[in-house]
Structure 1
Amino acid sequence: MYVTTEQHGRSATLTPRGDIDFAGLEQLRACLAGLPDTVGEVIWDLRDVTFMDVAGLHLISTPIAAARVSLTNMTPQAVRLLEAATAVFPRQEWDRHLPSPADPGLVRATA
C-alpha cells in the first residue's frame, strides 16, 4: 500500500494506491494519525484503489478529532460496498459517503 498525503491549509487529501483491506488498515490509520491537529477536513481520494472491503468501512469511520471526512473519485466497487453496507446497517448512515444522484462525480461530506 502506498499513500500520498497532500495538505492545503486545513485540508488534507490522502490518496491510497492498491487494495484497502485489513492488511493495510493500520498503515492507513497511521497516515491519519500523522496529520497535524490543525487539519479540519480529510479527503480520501479513492481513484487508485483497486479493491476495498469492510476494512474501508472501518477506515472511513476512524475518529479524526474534529475533522470532516469525505470521499472522492470512488470506484464502482467502492460504491457497491457502501450501498450494501447502507442496506445492511442503515443506522450507520454509510450512504452519506455516496455520490449525489444529481452529480455522480461529487460526494457528500460527513462531520
Structure 2
Amino acid sequence: MHITTEIRGTAATLTPRGDIDYQHLDQLRATVQQLPTSVTDVSWDLRDAPFVDVAGLHLLSTPSDPRRGTSLANLQPQHRRLLTIACELFPDADFDRYLSGSGAHQAA
C-alpha cells in the first residue's frame, strides 16, 4: 500500500492507495502517528481505496490525540455500507459522524 500525505497548515490529507485491511492496518496507524503535532485535522481521502474491511473501523476507533479531528472524504458505496452496518451494530461508537460530516462527500 502507498499512502500519500499532504499537509497544509494544521490539516493533513492522507490518501491510501489499495485495500484497507488488516494487512495494512499497522502502516495506516503509523502514518497518523508520524504526523507533526501541529496537525489538528486529519482527513482520509478514500478515492483510491476500493475496499475497506473491519480494519478501517479499527483505524477510525484507534485512540489518537484528543485535539486531532478525523474525517473521511470520497466515500465509495462499499465504504458507506460498511459504516452504515457499523452504526447499526455499534450505535455508541459514533461511526455516524463519518457519514454525516461535511467531508463525507461521495466520489464523483
- TM-score of the pair, normalised by structure 2: 0.90
* Gapped regions of structure 2 (runs ≥ 5): none
Kindly state the Cα deviation for residue 47 of structure 1 after the two structures are TM-superposed: 0.4
Deviations 1:6-63 (CA, angstroms, capped at 9, x unpaired): 0000000000011000000000111001100110000000000011000000111222
Partners of 1:60 and 1:18 lie apart in 2 by: 17
Equivalent position SS for 1:35: coil
Q: CA RMSD in A?
A: 1.6
Partners of 2:103 and 2:21 lie apart in 1 by: 24
Count of equivalent residues:
104
Large movers: runs of 4+ above 3 Å: none
Kindly state the Cα deviation for residue 99 of structure 1 after the two structures are TM-superposed: 4.2
Partners of 1:92 and 1:6 lie apart in 2 by: 28
Q: Which residue of structure 1 lines up, in the alignment, with residue 78 of structure 2?
A: 77
Partners of 1:64 and 1:12 lie apart in 2 by: 14
Q: Write the letter of the residue equivalent to 2:89.
A: V
Deviations 1:57-103 (CA, angstroms, capped at 9, x unpaired): 01112222110100000111000000000011111121110046xxx
1:84-103 matches, within 5 Å, as 84-99=85-100
Q: Per residue, is there more strand in 1 or in 2? A: 1
Using a 3 Å threshold, how does the CA distance of structure 1 residues 38 and 106 change in structure 2: closer, same or farther?
Answer: closer
Q: Write the letter of the residue equivalent to 2:104.
A: V
Using a 3 Å threshold, how does the CA distance of structure 1 residues 84 and 94 change in structure 2: closer, same or farther?
Answer: same
* Gapped regions of structure 1 (runs ≥ 5): none
Q: Write the letter of the residue equivalent to 1:23.
A: Q
